[in-house]
Amino acid sequence: MGWINFEYYAFAALLLWGVGSVSLYLKTDKQGIGVRVPALFSAAGLAVLMLFILLLWLKIDRPPMRTLGETRLWYSFLLPAIGLVSFLRWRYKWLLAYSLLMGGLFLLINILHPETYDKSLMPALQSVWFIPHVIVYMFAYALLAASSLVALKAVYQDYRGKRWNTLPNLADNFVYLGFSFLTMGLLFGALWAKEAWGHYWTWDPKETWAFITWTAYLIYIHYRYKHQHRHKQAMWILLIAFGLLMVCWFGVNYLPSAQNSVHTYTS
């Protein structure tokens, strides 16, 4: 099957997530149902997607982490997963809804613009570091995306003159975890590069942008520590940091400096 049946799985996941999102906002008297129904539908969507990922992995006989489309697939799994866990933990309806929406959006992008090219795994990528490096990074990206959803919500609430004083703390929870994974991903990459290319850091464009992203979140964390009450500036730093992260993930492919990078996914 490979990617051939992707649409069916994607539409099934989208449908389940759609129902889950709607059920989040249905009025119900029973507290338990208001949590369980959306959680079950979201989890069912995740299960469908995981099944697809596993079947794809078996079929192509290599970890599906090589192409841009494949990284988006992981992202559209991990972000709703994080949304679901936070919903169960903190009961943030809007966060689950947004993360389902974002996950669904990435599934749609994969349907319309696959960029999955059936690629062989070049020898440099055949390493024990490959899976931890990519998974840790995708997890970090998904957590940091969740933090920027929080920041967006905060900025919007501020614009409408509504209260949003609990949001920065929620954003911090995601950033701390996300930054921890981001650091691991970066350092795993360095250790791997030493084994594969002879040097741990060569300022390859992807490395450079990963460093930029890392520094941006570093700045956010330090700023938040020092100024616990300058919420608005902090939320803007978070949004800028996520913009840099997006350049690192997708944008690098289009930069003149990156024509020879091993990370362009298309070479």
Partner 1 sequence: MRRNTWQAPWSYREGVIIGGGLVFLGVVWQVFLPSSGFQLPFWPGNLYMGLIFLALLFTLHFLLKSTSVVKWLASVPAAVTSAALYCGLAILLGIIPQGQSSGSPIVHVLGLNQLTSSWVFALANLYFLTSLGLATLKRLFPFKLKNLGYLLNHAGLWIALTAAALGSSDLQRLSMNCTEGQPEWRAYDGSGQLVEMPVAIELLDFQIDEYPPKLTLVDNETGRIAVPDKKNAFFSVADSSFQLLDYRVEVDRLLPEAGLIGDRFEPVNEVGSPPAARLTVTRLSTGDSQSGWVSSGSFRFQPYAFKISDQYSLVMLPPEPRKYQSDIRVMTQEGQQLTATLEVNKPLKLGGWKFYQLSYHADMGKWSDMSVIELVRDPWIPVVYLGIFMMLAGSLFLFRHGTYKKKGLENGLD
Binding positions for partner 1, 148-187, rule CB under 8 A: 169, 172-173, 176-177, 179-181, 183-184, 187
Rule CB under 8 A: choose which of 36, 91, 222, 230 binds partner 1: 222
- The beta-carbon contacts of 202-206 under 8 Å, at least 24 apart in sequence, are 204/261, 204/262, 204/263, 205/252, 205/255, 205/257, 205/258, 205/261, 205/263, 206/248, 206/252, 206/258, 206/261, 206/262, 206/263, 206/264
C-alpha distances (whole Å) from 228 to each of 45, 110, 165, 166 are: 38, 40, 11, 12
Of 27-35, 36-44, 74-82, 194-202, which part binds partner 1 (CB under 8 A)? 194-202
110's tokens: 């994969």
- Give yes or no for residue 132 binding partner 1 (CB under 8 A): no
Which of 160, 225, 229, 254 is in the footprint of partner 1 by CB under 8 A?
Answer: 225
Tell me if 264 contacts partner 1 by CB under 8 A.
no
- Report the residue number, 157 or 173, with the smaller CB distance to partner 1: 173
Q: Judged by CB under 8 A, does residue 123 bind partner 1?
A: yes
Who's near 89: CB < 8 A, 6+ residues apart?
none
Q: For partner 1, which is the closer residue by CB, 75 or 209?
A: 209
Considering only residues 33, 51, 124, 131, which one is a binding residue for partner 1 as defined by CB under 8 A?
A: 124
The answer to the question of residue 106 lying near partner 1 (CB under 8 A) is no
Are 95 and 146 in contact by the 8 Å Cβ rule? The answer is: yes
Helices (H) and strands (E) in the chain, counts: 8, 0
What is the rounded distance in angstroms from the CA atom of residue 53 to the CA atom of residue 2?
9
Under the criterion CB under 8 A, does residue 211 sit at the interface with partner 1?
A: yes
**Token couple for 237:** 């730093």
Cβ atoms 75, 178 nearer than 8 A = no
Indicate the length of the chain as a whole number.
267
Residue 112 near partner 1 by CB under 8 A: no
In the complex with partner 1, the residue whose CB is nearer, 101 or 246, is 246
How many residues form the binding site for partner 1 (CB under 8 A)?
A: 60
Question: Is there binding between residue 131 and partner 1 (CB under 8 A)?
Answer: no
Question: Shortest gap between Cβ of 149 and partner 1 (angstroms)?
Answer: 17
Query: Which is closer to partner 1, CB of 196 or CB of 246?
Result: 196
Q: Which of 122, 131, 156, 232 binds partner 1 (CB under 8 A)?
A: 122
Q: Which residue has the tokens 């841009």?
A: 68
- The amino acid present at 83, given as its one-letter code, is G
Closer by beta carbon to partner 1, 40 or else 109? 109
CA distance 201 to 127: 17
- Binding residues for partner 1, rule: CB under 8 A, are 2-4, 6, 69, 113-118, 120-124, 126-127, 169, 172-173, 176-177, 179-181, 183-184, 187, 190-191, 194-201, 203, 205, 208-209, 211-212, 215-216, 218-219, 221-223, 225-226, 247, 252, 255-257, 259
